Amino acid sequence: MNAPRPPAGTYQAPPVESLQGVVERLTYHSEESGYTVARLKAPRTSELVTITGNFANIQAGQTLQLHGTWKDHPKFGTQFQVTQYRETKPATITGMEKYLGSGLIKGVGPVTAKRIVAHFGLETLDIIEQQIERLVEVPGIAQKRVKLIQAAWVTQKAIKDVMLFLQSHGVSTTYAVKIYKQYGDASITTVTHNPYQLATDVYGIGFVTADAIARNLGIAPGSEFRYRAGTLHVLGEAAEEGHCFLPGEALVDRVVKRLEIADHRPNPVQVKTLSEQMVVDGELVKTEALIAGLEEFGYYAPPFFGAEQKLADRVRQLLQQPLEVDAARVQRWLDRFVETTGTALSEQQRHAVTMAASQRVLILTGGPGCGKTFTTRTIVALWKAMGKTIVLASPTGRAAQRLSEMTGQEAKTVHRLLEFDPKTMKFKRDVDNPLPAQALVVDEASMLDLFLANSLLKAIALDSQLLLVGDTDQLPSVGPGAVLQDLIASEQIPVVRLTQVFRQAQASHIVSNAHRINQGQFPQLEPVSPAPQSDCLWLGAPEPEDGVQGIQDLITDLLPALGVDPASDVQVLCPMTRGVVGTRHLNTVLQQLINPPNSSKAELVRSGMTLRVGDRVIQKVNDYDREVFNGDLGTIAAIDVEEQDVTVRFAERLVSYDYADLNEITLAWAVTIHKSQGSEYPVVVLPIYMQHYLMLSRNLIYTGLTRAKQLAILVGTQKAIALAVRQVKDQQRYTLLDQRLREAR
């Protein structure tokens, strides 16, 4: 320690000083920004020093040489603000134990670290760097484990170099491991040569981050390289809004806004000229389209254009295949089925079953309580009686499970049905290797986006039949396209709409309120009470903070009194992630209530979020290697500090995540309504507030309400609910599937 800590006081221009010591513990560390508050043990002093600053990678036990200035914080006292630092080797036995056991090296936790240091003493790090094979001398460490530790040691040293480089160029340390996984020893070279490649190759790094790196590296804001990357990024942003393409004028406007910075405003003419050149170069596809009644040119990223064109072609091919059916025989079977089962079918349902027997492709749609489930079950029974081999699928695991329970036959997610191959990054089932089925049922078809629908249709043999079941009043797919709506709008595919609400369903206020909302009427809600008579309740809470407290009271008092287990049966659904009643804040609150910390439960902190054994989590992206997909819900079954992995149980499958991949999952005690599509929960709690006004819409609240099987509780203000019911946000998605189908005919 070169300079003693100065007495408290005010410094006009604090001198830069140096400080050396061992990191005793981390008080706070943001993996996103690297900002850290830590306690440092300096030589020849018993007091711990508080240090603050941005660190690429910091662990308890590290010995650091620091440069910075002293500052008095009004609340936390004297602190050393670090401007530069470098790591040196730990100089004490305790320091080495903390350093090795801090999670720095996969395969070495606190117990193993203690054994290694006990054996080699102060020579430990020299042994690991120069004679790592000697680790077999340590009791409990076999040759196989030595190889794992050696690989982890080499990797962490390389990652540290990458982290320091990336942090100096504005990259979040969260993604340094992923960047190293993607590019290996070529990481720094790749980032230096083409930082925009990160946005394409590494999940979680977008154009904005890549652009900041590029600026730090000296790439001019008006460079063609930046404009090309920005144009593709804008189309990617449009895809997140559901668009498959953008009209020319809209594309130029968005690119200009996206690329504009303080010292540079893009020239719209230059952007338009470059977009035309990108068409010539094959980076964009240009097509003429009828948009809002006007002839315009649309610009696609090539994968979107190809998928939409191929999907339209495949639907047309299916529709062209003749299908001969004995209609009288179908009617006789239907009469016997009704008589044998003792059930009654409405005329709409009978029509749907008859159509399913005679059509290559049929769409069955309708709201809750209108008999879609029973109609689907009857169609499956008919197809079985006709001797057809049948497969059942749905976009989500929970919806597939429900479809299986409904029909008594195994149902799979569409991804698993199509058998994704991680080696080729393609589905095994396609035109050349179609599904071995003569009939296919896809439930929750409103969730099919452009790419999944295209992959599915390619895998259906042309002599097969397809039944798409969905509710068009729900939110459209999270991914690009409006496949179910476009198929219906094309008027090329038979559609049966079930509109009659059955008497038994009319008793449910969830069902009746869903239909009221669809008709633009305010739902009829019963106030929350200890003995509610309705399955659709209302908890008025004027302010968001009141709503959070109200939700806590529901979780701790009312719902357990009704025999509901909050850990397994309750799902909070929010319009947004942000805000006091958004998923981020509510997940922290609900985690403390439902799965509080316990000495028997392992936990870890990543990106400011605590993950604990027993936590409900949701998959945020499609991960084909692990076969878990966007929206899948699971529970953390184990956290292994030594091996640095987290095990999550999805249904009956256990899936392992390396620490570096934990940004693929997040807490799911509260999830967005969009993420809940295709799922049902025994009890749903819906906070609805004006702070969500940008997202509030009729189909949003309708979708959230209809996720509840037994009980729905709306929390918030009547003003916000009324706004949601009024707003019909059927935003026009830029798609041409319906036009392509009509033109094909």
Is 373 annotated in a binding site? The answer is yes
With 0-12 / 13-18 / 19 or more C-beta atoms within 10 angstroms meaning exposed / middle / buried, residue 284 is buried
DSSP label at 221?
T
DSSP label at 4?
P
Helix, strand and coil percent figures for the chain, each rounded to 5: 45, 25, 35
Assign 3-class secondary structure to 508-520.
CHHHHHHHHHHCC
Q: Of 327, 329, 315, 225, whose CA–CA distance to 278 is shortest?
A: 225
Strand locations in 465-524, DSSP E?
Answer: 465-470, 495-498
Is 372 annotated in a binding site? The answer is yes
CA dist., res. 501 & res. 444, Å (int)? 19
Is 170 annotated in a binding site? The answer is no
Is 371 annotated in a binding site? The answer is yes
Phi-psi region of 520 (alpha: psi -120 to 50; beta: other; left: phi over 0): left
Strand partners, 25: 39
The encoded tokens of residue 707 equal: 């996720």
Strand partners, 465: 439
CA 296 remoteness from chain centre: 34
Is 369 annotated in a binding site? The answer is yes
φ/ψ of residue 618, rounded to 5: -130, 140
CA dist., res. 415 & res. 401, Å (int)? 14
Concatenated DSSP letters of 136-154? GGSTT--HHHHHHHHHHHH
715 vs 395, 539, 581, CA distance in Å? 29, 5, 10
CA dist., res. 100 & res. 121, Å (int)? 12
Name, in order, each residue with C-beta under 8 angstroms of 78's C-beta and a sequence gap of 6 or more: 5, 6, 8, 50, 70, 71, 72
With beta carbons less than 8 A apart as the criterion, state whether 614 and 635 touch. yes
Could you list the residues known to form a binding site for ATP, using ranges: 369-373
Could you list the residues known to form a binding site, using ranges: 369-373
